[in-house]
Amino acid sequence: MTLRRSNRATRIDYAALNESHIIHERNVHPHIPEFQKFAKSQISNSNNNDIILIDENYNTKFTDDNLAKIIETTKLSKPILIRGANPQVPETYNENIKLNFNIPNYNIEKYTQLIGSNVKVPVMDTMTQNNSRNWDMLKWCNYFSSETHDKIRNVISLEISQTKLGSQINVPRVVENIDIIRELYNDPKFAKLLLENEIDPPKVQKYILMSVRNCFTDFHIDFAGTSVYYSLVKGHKQFILLPPTNDNLRAYKAWCLSDIQQHLWFPSTVKNNGILIDVKPGDLLLLPSLWIHAVHTLDDSIIIGGNFLNAHSLDNHIRAHKLETETCVPDQFRFPNLLRFMWLIAYYYYLKKPTNELELNAYKSVVNFLNDEWLFVKNSNLKRGAITKLKAAVPRNIIGDPQEFLNLANASIDDEAEPIRKKIRKN
C-alpha cells in the first residue's frame, strides 16, 4: 500500500512534550493557530488571480470541453476550483456544471459497507503525522461517527479502486484523458505488453479521505509531484497552497531536511506565504503538479480524490522524484514503481511517435531523464543498493537493452522533432 504522506526522519511526540496540557489542548496541532491566522488574513479567494475559480456566478454551461480547454491553456499550472460540480450533492449543485464524473454521496456506514468492514485502513495521528495500521474499516467507522475522540485521526491513504465503492466511482473524464498511465493501458497493444509482463497499473486513482474536525496535514508535495483531483462530499477543508517556484522548492527541501521541521511553520521560511482555498461539499478541486500544500479540516469531512501523472507535468514529476531522493523519502511514500513507468512512458512514445508538441516535449523530458539515470548507473562502480534498484527498475523484457533503447530513442527524437516543427510553423 502506498501512503500519501511522507513520515519524517525524526519525530517529536507533541502529546508527550506537553504533559501539562489538558487532553483537548493536546489534540490541537501546534500549527493550527498559525493556519487560522493565515486564513483570517485572507479576506476572500474569489478574485484571486492565482487560482481558476468556476463558482455560482458562472451562468452558462460548463462542460468537459471547457475544462479541457482551461487545462490546455494553463498547462495545468494553476489550481482549478469548480464549486457545485457534483450533482450528487444537491444542496450546492450548480445546474450549469455538466462535467462527466461520478462521486457518490453516502453516509459513513454506507461507505464502510461498500469498502468492506474488514478492510485495513492506514490511520494518521494528526499530532505526530504518523500512520498506524491497526485499524479496519469497522473500527474506523465507529471512531468517525462517535461524538468524542481520544486523538485527532485522519485517513488520507485508503485506495479503494478494487472495492465495490471503487466500482461506483468515475474519475472526472478530463482527468482520465490526461492521465498518462491510463493512456498506456488504454492502448490495446501496449496494454497487452504490460499485462503479459505482469505490470499492473499503480493503484493511486481512487482514494477516500475521512477526516474529523481539527485534522491537520502538514506541508507536503504529493508523491512524484502528481496532480490531484479532490472532491469533497461532506464537511469543510482549507488548503494553503504554494506554487513550485525555485525559491519555494529550495526552502521546502531545506525544511524537509531540518531537524526542527515539526516546530517550523513552513510559510515562515519563504517570502510569499501562499494562497488559501476553502473546499466545501460538491466542490471539485484540481491541484497542479508539485504545489506545496497543507490542509486543515474545519468540520468532519469525506472526500474522494486521486493522483495522476500527466504529459503537461512530466518535468515536474522528474523534479519531484529527485527531491524525494534528496530528502530520503522511503519507497512506501512514493509513486509505485515510478522509474519503471518512466521507461515505459518513453517506450510508449517511441512506438507511438509523438503527434504534437506536448507529447514531443514529454517524450524529450523523460528520455533526457533516463539518459542521465542510465549514465549514472553505468559510471557508478559501486554495487550499492541504490544502483541495483535503478537497474531492477528497467523493464528489459519490454524495452530490451536499456542503452540500445536509449540510442534509438535519442535518434528518434531528432527525427520526430522536424516534422512537428514544420507543422507548427505552417499553422
Q: Summarize as ranges the residues that interact with ligand AKG (CB under 6 A).
A: 4, 154, 156, 209, 211, 215, 217, 222, 237, 293, 295
d(C-alpha 148, C-alpha 150), whole Å: 7
Q: Does 222 sit near Fe ion (CB under 5 A)?
A: yes
Per partner kind, with CB cut-offs from 5 to 8 A, the member of Fe ion, ligand AKG, none near residue 66 is none
CA distances from residue 410 to 190, 254, 339, 347 in whole angstroms, order as listed: 21, 35, 18, 12
Nearer to ligand AKG, 222 or 283 (CB): 222
Q: Which stretch binds Fe ion (CB under 5 A): 38-46, 217-225, 246-254, 384-392?
A: 217-225
Q: Does 218 sit near Fe ion (CB under 5 A)?
A: no
- The neighbouring-strand residues paired with 363 are none
Intra-chain end-to-end CA distance of the chain, in Å: 47
**C-alpha grid cell for residue 117?**
468492514
The long-range contacts involving 57-61, CB below 8 angstroms and separated by at least 24 positions, are: 58/94, 58/96, 58/97, 59/96, 60/96, 61/96, 61/98
Q: Which residues contact 371 (CB under 8 A, 6 or more apart)?
A: 406, 410
Per partner kind, with CB cut-offs from 5 to 8 A, the member of ligand AKG, Fe ion, none near residue 215 is ligand AKG
Nearest distance from C-beta of residue 304 to ligand AKG, angstroms: 12
Nearest distance from C-beta of residue 157 to Fe ion, angstroms: 10
Nearer to ligand AKG, 229 or 348 (CB): 229
Nearer to Fe ion, 222 or 324 (CB): 222
d(C-alpha 313, C-alpha 138), whole Å: 38
Shortest-Cβ-distance residue relative to Fe ion: 222
Would you say how long the chain is, in residues?
427
Q: Which stretch binds Fe ion (CB under 5 A): 175-183, 222-230, 300-308, 411-419?
A: 222-230
**C-alpha grid cell for residue 307?**
493522483
**C-alpha grid cell for residue 292?**
506545496
Nearest distance from C-beta of residue 211 to ligand AKG, angstroms: 5
**C-alpha grid cell for residue 229?**
483531483
Nearer to ligand AKG, 321 or 364 (CB): 321
> Which single residue is written with the C-alpha cell 496532480?
227
Per partner kind, with CB cut-offs from 5 to 8 A, the member of Fe ion, ligand AKG, none near residue 154 is ligand AKG
CA distances from residue 18 to 8, 12, 28, 145, 374 in whole angstroms, order as listed: 20, 11, 11, 28, 49
Per partner kind, with CB cut-offs from 5 to 8 A, the member of ligand AKG, Fe ion, none near residue 156 is ligand AKG
Nearest distance from C-beta of residue 272 to Fe ion, angstroms: 19
Per partner kind, with CB cut-offs from 5 to 8 A, the member of Fe ion, ligand AKG, none near residue 360 is none
Per partner kind, with CB cut-offs from 5 to 8 A, the member of Fe ion, ligand AKG, none near residue 211 is ligand AKG
Q: Which stretch binds Fe ion (CB under 5 A): 135-143, 220-228, 274-282, 301-309?
A: 220-228
Nearer to Fe ion, 194 or 240 (CB): 240
Nearer to ligand AKG, 292 or 339 (CB): 292
Per partner kind, with CB cut-offs from 5 to 8 A, the member of ligand AKG, Fe ion, none near residue 214 is none
Residue 348 exposed, middle or buried by CB count within 10 Å (0-12, 13-18, 19+):
buried
**Pairing verdict, β 216-220 and 292-308:** antiparallel
d(C-alpha 87, C-alpha 232), whole Å: 12
Nearest distance from C-beta of residue 283 to ligand AKG, angstroms: 13
List residues binding Fe ion (CB under 5 A). Answer: 222
